């Protein structure tokens, strides 16, 4: 793939929609982090939608807390949380202020800055093809590779540090829809979406 076109940044209006719709539309878009002068980027391949109004698995189902307050904001910011006492996960907040919706990024196909992602994940630049696929095919792997942590919680996705670029829409026929992974509540909601045939997906 060609280097990301930084002039194609998604504006706020893209995010002011339901988590389910945003999840499907985010597939194929380019996630970008600019850190210490380097560009880290990748194509979004797998996502999950969360909607606190009806979804017991969403952090916002219980109402606003200090942990989840970012998810209650207007769409177009990053919601980062710590889980299992060891991993960060990052989400794209969607919808209007107060709705409590977001899309978890579960898989990304790395495009630019792969050497730096490799150092972030494995502590070295030279990696095997298998290690490359494992760079970003899971939510905790994404935050490691892109060096995302609690300090990035609330980052504006229309800003200049972490943002998402527009790209060709993935046709519906190329998108698989399944139940979400690793949750114990609202398990039957078909709110996981991924690009068929892409290697950078956490679970087929």
Please report, for the chain, the start and end positions of each structural domain, with discontinuous segments joined by +: 16-195
pTM exceeds 0.85 for this model: yes
pLDDT in tens, the chain (204 residues): 555 677 899 999 999 999 999 999 999 999 999 988 899 999 999 999 999 999 999 999 998 988 889 999 999 999 999 986 678 999 999 999 999 999 999 999 999 999 999 999 999 999 999 999 999 999 999 999 999 999 999 999 999 999 999 999 999 999 999 999 989 999 999 999 999 999 999 987
Per-residue DSSP letters for the chain?
-PPP-GGGB--HHHHSS-HHHHHHHHTT-EEEEEETTEEEEEEEEEEEEEETTT-TTSGGGG---TTTGGGGS-SSBEEEEEETTTEEEEEEEESSTTS-EEEEEEEEEEEE-HHHHHHHHHSSS---HHHHHTTSSSHHHHHHHTT--GGGTT-BTTSSSEEEE--PPPPGGGEEEE--SS-SSSTT---EEEETT-S--S--
CATH class, range 16-195: alpha beta
């Amino acid at each position: 793939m060609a280097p990301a076109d930084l002039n194609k940044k998604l504006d706020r209006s893209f995010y002011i929609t339901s988590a389910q719709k945003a999840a499907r539309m985010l597939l194929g878009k380019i996630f970008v982090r600019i850190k210490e002068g380097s560009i880290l980027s990748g194509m979004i391949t797998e996502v999950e939608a969360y909607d606190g109004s009806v979804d017991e698995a969403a952090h916002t189902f219980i109402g606003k807390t200090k942990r989840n307050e970012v998810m209650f904001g207007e769409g177009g910011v990053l919601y980062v949380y710590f889980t299992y006492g060891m991993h960060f996960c990052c989400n794209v907040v969607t919808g209007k202020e107060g709705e409590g919706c977001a899309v978890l990024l579960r898989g990304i196909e790395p495009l630019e800055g792969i050497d730096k992602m490799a150092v972030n994940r494995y502590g070295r630049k030279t990696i095997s093809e298998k290690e490359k696929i494992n760079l970003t095919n899971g939510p905790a792997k994404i935050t490691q590779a892109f060096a995302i942590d609690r300090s990035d919680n609330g980052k504006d996705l229309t800003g200049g540090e972490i943002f998402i670029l527009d790209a060709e829409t993935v046709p519906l026929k190329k998108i698989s829809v399944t139940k979400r992974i690793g949750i114990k509540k609202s398990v039957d909601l078909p709110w996981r979406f991924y690009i068929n045939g892409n290697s950078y997906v956490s679970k087929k």
